[in-house]
Structure 1
Amino acid sequence: MVFVVSLAIALGFVAWGAFAPDSMSTTTQTLLSGTIGGFGWFYLLSVFGFLLFAIYLAFGRFGGIRLGGDDAEPEFSRISWFAMLFSAGMGIGLVFWGAAEPLAHFATPPAGEGLTADAARTALRYTFFHWGLHPWAIYSVMGLTIAYFSFNRGLPALVSEAFRPLFGDRVNGGLGKLVDILAIIATACGVVTSLGLGTLQIGGGLTYALGVPDTDLLHVVIIVVAMGLAIASSLSGVGRGIQWLSNLNIAIAVLLMLAIVALGPTLFIFESFTTTLGGYINNLSLMSLRLTPFSKSSWVADWTLFYWAWWITWAPFVGLFIARVSKGRTIREFIVGVLLAPSLVSFLWFSAFGGTAIHQQLLDGINLLAVQHEDYAKTLFAMFKALPMAQLLSLLALALIVSFFVTSADSANLVLGMLSTKGRHDPPAWIKLVWGVVIGAMALVLLFSGGLKALQTLSIVSALPFALIMVGLCVSLYKALAEDDRARAHKEKARRHAVDAMLARDPHLGD
């Protein structure tokens, strides 16, 4: 039933966008205004709460618990594990926004005058904020919850099963099915947003760097080819296709980043990284709870709330995926690994790309903003044009976007298949094939009915119900951990009493 209802909703969305795009656009914009106006505060509080909860789990009394039991061994090496969770968790967005977001904040900062040195510092600091600890806290809470209930309690890898401590056997009925359906819809919307961004940037890159006409037909070809590769990869399984692609992503990303550091303003990049990291840590709580009730600025809604909603829609997808590949890790290792390692790489990435873009605009007299005002997807390639080996950099970036695109869609097919088949770790091939086709169709519909704005709107609106579910997951996980901790303490106490009783009967046993 979960598969049928979820598929019907997704196909209904595709049909709506295909046959009545104006109606869909008007309706989603109305929903967007209501969501931002009434629940922006809830997004900020809940995401900050997820970060605090994750830190507590890592360094509190539950940190030493091992996912899968005391004898569980990790299936993947740390490098492959990190590569897979990073590729699934960020991917396309890093490349799309690497130069574009810092440059946008530099031109229009959240407060103060744009195009100044202060605006440059603020631009990188808020970019760190949007791509740092907060999104990974969302993923870590979701992933840890699914992993704990799946590996330590032997339950199916479903979001609904994580509510069993709160609702008992009622998760077997309509309540549980509703939760899983919402998880599938949120996953589909989050992934479609990323795939749409990837399509826009591949098209923009082919146009700006290689002169290929940026047409609707090009977007269709990009999505069809990339989704075909993703489906083929997903059918080969996690241990082969996804792991291989994830490792390839990291290799290309590191190579591209090192090239930018070497060819760009190297000293400026390292100084920007250092000072921005300090500003990020110093202003973390202030940025986490910043709204603008006393002004009419839409900056927080356009950026922070969009990102928080986007990450929440990705939570079931990334959470289930990293849970699937994290057996054998302790809770502390899981949280610290998921929070810190990807955040640090993101900081280095934006320092390199964003720092180079700001340096070109502020100090080199290169007007990247003129290109960005025309099309965000072309900002990165315009930045490359001012560097040595521009053509090679553009080709590397295009290869990375395609690889991230395929990996994200590949992982999404697996997770949607798991959610649709009562948590099976290896869903049937036809289920993954169906979801691959549906996701591609949704991406096409959104691109043709509104482009980037439509993608952002979908993320923010679809995230609200799942944000409520995630708050419930935190409560349920804490209750389960506390119950199991008490059971372990009781068992250990009983064991000690048994040993003491044996020693009392025969003191020589202690020898």
Structure 2
Amino acid sequence: MHKIRKIPTILPFGVLFLGIIANLVDEEGTQAVILNMNNWVIDEFGWLLSISSVLFVLTCVVAYFSAIGHVRIGGEGAKPLLSKFNWFSITLCTTVAVGLLFWSTAEPIYHLYGPPESLGIEANSDAARRFSFSTLYLHWSFTPYAIYCIPALTFALAFYNLKKEKSIGGFLSPLFGRFTQGIWGQLIDAIALFALITGMASGLGQGLLTLAGGLNKFVGIGNSPVVLAAIAALIVATVVVSAVSGLLKGIRILSDLNLKFFIGLLVFVLVFGPTGYSASAGVDGFGDYTSNFFNKSFFTGELGHDDWPKWWTNFYWAQWLTWAPVTALFLGHISRGYTVREFILTVMVFPSLFSILWMTLFGGMSMYFDEVSGGAVKQTLDENGVESIIYYIFEQLPLSGIITFVFIIISFVSFVTAADSSTEAIASVCIEVGKDEKEYENMESTSKTSFWLKIMIVSSIGFVSWSMTSFAGINGVKILANLGMLPSLLIVLGAMFTLWSLMAKYTRESRPATRNLMLVPDDTDGQAVNLPAYESLGDGITQPIMAYDR
């Protein structure tokens, strides 16, 4: 049994439960304090979010075309842990897939009727529809996946190629050295875990409402605390079963099943939905997105005293960032055996294209039915909440009962898959293992410590989600999750700078005299070593090229 790392394990859950208790005792006062803290973070650092979001996308593009793009994660002889299809399905289903289900039909209606005032766009106009589509693509394609891709790729190279420890401090250590080790490294892990745990609680809380709304369509059970508790218990139990079966079997099976459901639902909407309208409007919106990518990314609303970016774009970037540092450990872990270019394609490009297709069909369908019904979708949103829109949309399609049932299954599996992968990542940070620990080489194994730790983690998060959703309101956890944005942003920025340093060093090594060099770790302490390579200076004179300085 492995040793539990006390600081990353106790500190995040302790702070979370103290916050929950305070919220239950004085909901109004606690949420007011948290909201003020949240507003301060967004007001003071929103500009940094905007700049960073663009830098993350550009860094992925540069990394793909740089010399490091040919590097194989784990070394030239490393064999893949997963097939490319399984790798893609796990990546898609453990990142923003849950959000696709929840927001694909609701968000375009929000933007259609509430565009930014400072841009002078008239609500429910053609310009508002174009803005709505292009904003969907901004929020749900390349930028969010770049936020995941940067730390995940940095971790994969640090863990597999440089033999750093499996922690957040580990993938920052190639650039920051000892400042990310010891007690400081554990504090970094604890902060990142707190951000992820609150993000998971928020996401699961929204999931409970979505599933309860769908079940209410069939059996009229409502969304009482008892109903929400039963749904939460079912999700926790399914995650436990997946944990028992091992990582490759559990999450791989769930993700494979989930992706097939996604594809099936896409095909159905493609055949029976207003595809012509969605495709035409999508092309128009995508043109606006690509031609105004920098303008939309850098839009802070400050000059026009417009809070729209704070409640939408910055909110999304904050949400993805809270998940990214810890999720990176999981995504990087399953990437062994593939090149950096294959990693960027699978973790960033392909999921983004899938998301664009999904948002085009479902977002277009939502705006189409709202237009032809004279605003019925907007009325449903106002009267019954965001989780009701997708079910109203399905009622406009043939076989609505079957499709609604399938959607409920997809939603359930999506929440379980996301919770399972995140629980795996959290558990890996809480357990202290050696750099060469074979358990992380063999993903089929699950130690007793890891198993019971996963049960504790997922049960705690399930309880928090249920209690907040049932008694204190989900807004408290949603705002609480945003507080983890700032440290998470600094961690992902640190990962980006580390990746740039690795690209620069590998580019120097890729000159003709050294293009066969590999990242070779020192067998004694895991630190990089000087590699014995030489370059010609002319007249028969050579000098050594130092690939990595100790």
TM norm structure 2: 0.86
1:102 and 1:358 in contact (8 A); partners too: yes
1:94 aligns to what? 100
| Deviates most, 275-284 or 375-384 | 275-284
Of 296, 299, 307 in structure 2, the residue corresponding to residue 290 of structure 1 is 299
TM superposition shift of 1:233: 0.9
1:405 has 2:415 as partner: yes
Shift in Å, 1:299:
1.4
How far is the alpha carbon of 1:174 from its aligned partner? 1.9
Alignment of 1:192-231 (within 5 A): 192-231=201-240
Counterpart of 2:280, as a letter, is E
Deviation at 1:308, TM superposition (A): 0.3
Aligned with residue 386 of structure 1, among 376, 396, 400: 396
Identity %: 27
1:32 alignment partner, one of 38, 56, 60: 38
**Superposition RMSD in Å:** 2.3
**Cα deviations by residue, 1:380-424 (Å, 9 ceiling, x for unpaired):** 001111111111111111011000011011111100000111366
The aligned amino acid for 2:105 is A
Rounded Cα–Cα distance in structure 2 between residues aligned with 1:80 and 1:125: 30
1:34-73 paired onto structure 2 within 5 Å: 34-73=40-79
Cα drift, residue 167 of structure 1: 3.5
Residues 385 and 18 (structure 1 numbering): CA distance in 2 closer, same or farther, change over 3 Å?
A: same
Structure 1 residue 10: Cα displacement: 3.2
Q: Which residue, 9, 19, 24 being the options, matches 1:13?
A: 19
Q: Which amino acid aligns with 2:149?
A: S
CA gap of 1:485–1:421, structure 2 versus 1, over 3 A, is farther
Q: Following superposition of structure 1 onto structure 2, how do residues 313-392 of structure 1 map, counting pairs within 5 Å?
A: 313-365=322-374, 367-374=376-383, 375-392=385-402
Whether the 8 Å CA contact 1:107–1:115 is kept in 2: the answer is: yes
Conserved 8 A contact 2:80-2:337:
yes
Q: 1:278 to 1:210 in 2, by over 3 A?
A: farther
The 1-side partners of 2:269 and 2:326 are apart by 31
Q: What's the counterpart of residue 420 of structure 1?
A: 430
Could you tell me how far apart the structure 2 residues matched to 1:373 and 1:208 are? 18
* Match for residue 258 of structure 2 among 236, 249, 252: 249
Give the Cα separation in 1 of the matches to 2:27 and 2:244: 33
* Paired residue total: 501
Deviation at 1:245, TM superposition (A): 0.1
Partner of 1:115: 124
- CA-CA distance at 1:351 after TM superposition: 1.2
| In structure 2, distance between residues paired with 1:487 and 1:266 | 50
Task: State whether residues 113 and 119 of structure 1, in contact with CA within 8 Å, keep that contact through their aligned partners in structure 2.
Answer: yes
Residue 304, structure 1, aligned to residue 310, structure 2: no
Q: 475, 482, 502: which is aligned to 1:460?
A: 482
User: C-alpha separation between the residues in 1 aligned to 2:539 and 2:197?
Assistant: 58
Find 1:447's aligned residue among 464, 469, 484: 469
> C-alpha separation between the residues in 2 aligned to 1:3 and 1:46?
29
Correspondence for 2:522: none
Separation in structure 2 between the aligned mates of residue 198 and residue 124 of structure 1, nearest angstrom: 24
The letter of the residue matching 1:109 is P
Misfit runs of 4+, over 4 Å: 484-498
Q: CA deviation at 1:224?
A: 1.5
Residue aligned with 2:72, SS: coil
In 2, the alpha carbon distance for the partners of 1:172 and 1:464 equals 21
The equivalent residue for 2:523 is none
Deviation at 1:12, TM superposition (A): 2.6
| Alpha-carbon separation, structure 2, partners of 1:170 and 1:464 | 19
Distance in 2 between the 1:439 and 1:331 partners?
A: 34
CA gap 1:366/1:26 in 2 versus in 1, 3 angstroms = closer
* Gap change, CA 1:173 and 1:497, over 3 Å in 2: closer
Q: Is the 8 A contact 2:213 2:222 kept in 1?
A: no
Mapped contact 2:326–2:426 kept (Cα < 8 A): yes
Correspondence list, 1:173-192, <5 A: 173-192=182-201
Alpha-carbon contact 1:447-1:454 (below 8 Å) kept: no
Deviations 1:197-224 (A, max 9, x none): 2111111222245422222222222112
Give how far 1:229 is off: 0.9
CA distance in 2, matches of 1:475, 1:91: 28
Verify the 8 A CA contact 2:278 2:364 in the aligned structure 1: yes
Moved more, 3-12 or 179-188: 3-12
Superposition deviation, residue 149 in structure 1: 0.6
* 1:39, distance to aligned residue in structure 2 (A): 1.3
Query: Which one-letter code corresponds to 1:420 in the other structure?
Result: C
Partner of residue 507, structure 1: none
**Alignment partner, residue 545 of structure 2:** none
2:161 pairs with 1:155: no
Compare 444-453 and 198-207 and name the one that shifted more: 444-453
Partner of 2:175: 166
Residues 413, 435 of structure 1: 8 Å contact kept: yes
Q: Counterparts of 2:423 and 2:90 in 1: how far apart (Å)?
A: 15
Code of the aligned partner of 2:186: K
CA change 1:298–1:449 in 2 (3 A) is farther
Distance 1:24 1:449 in 2: 14
- Offset, 1:485: 5.3
CA distance in 2, matches of 1:232, 1:117: 49
Matched, 1:475 2:497: yes
Residue in structure 2 matching 1:263, options 253, 262, 272: 272
Q: CA deviation at 1:187?
A: 1.4
For 1:136, the equivalent position in structure 2 comes to 145
Question: Are 2:87 and 2:346, in contact at CA under 8 Å, matched by a contact in 1?
Answer: no
Ranges in structure 1 where 5+ consecutive residues have no aligned partner: 503-511
Task: Indicate if the aligned counterparts of 1:234 and 1:411 stay in contact, CA closer than 8 A.
Answer: no
CA distance in 1, matches of 2:162, 2:354: 33
Cα offsets for 1:411-439 (capped at 9, x unmatched) = 11100000111366356211111111111
* Stretch of structure 1 that moved more, 386-395 or 272-281: 272-281
Alpha-carbon distance in structure 2 between the residues aligned to 1:167 and 1:105: 42
Name the SS of the counterpart of 2:186 in structure 1: helix
Name the structure 1 match of 2:244. Answer: 235
SS of the counterpart of 2:75? Answer: coil
Farther-moved stretch of structure 1 (252-261 vs 476-485) = 476-485
Structure 2, unaligned runs of 5 or more: 1-5, 434-438, 441-445, 518-531, 541-550
1:479-507, CA deviations, whole angstroms, 9 ceiling, x for partnerless residues?
A: 24434555676765966779x999xxxxx
Q: Which moved more, 1:81-90 or 1:117-126?
A: 117-126
Describe the SS at the equivalent of 2:484.
Answer: helix
Separation of aligned partners in 1, 2:475 and 2:314: 14
Which secondary structure state, in structure 1, belongs to the residue aligned with residue 366 of structure 2?
Answer: helix
Distance, in Å, in 1 between the alignment partners of 2:106 and 2:63 is 35
Q: TM-score normalised to the size of structure 1?
A: 0.92
**SS of residue matched to 1:37:** helix
Higher helix share: 1
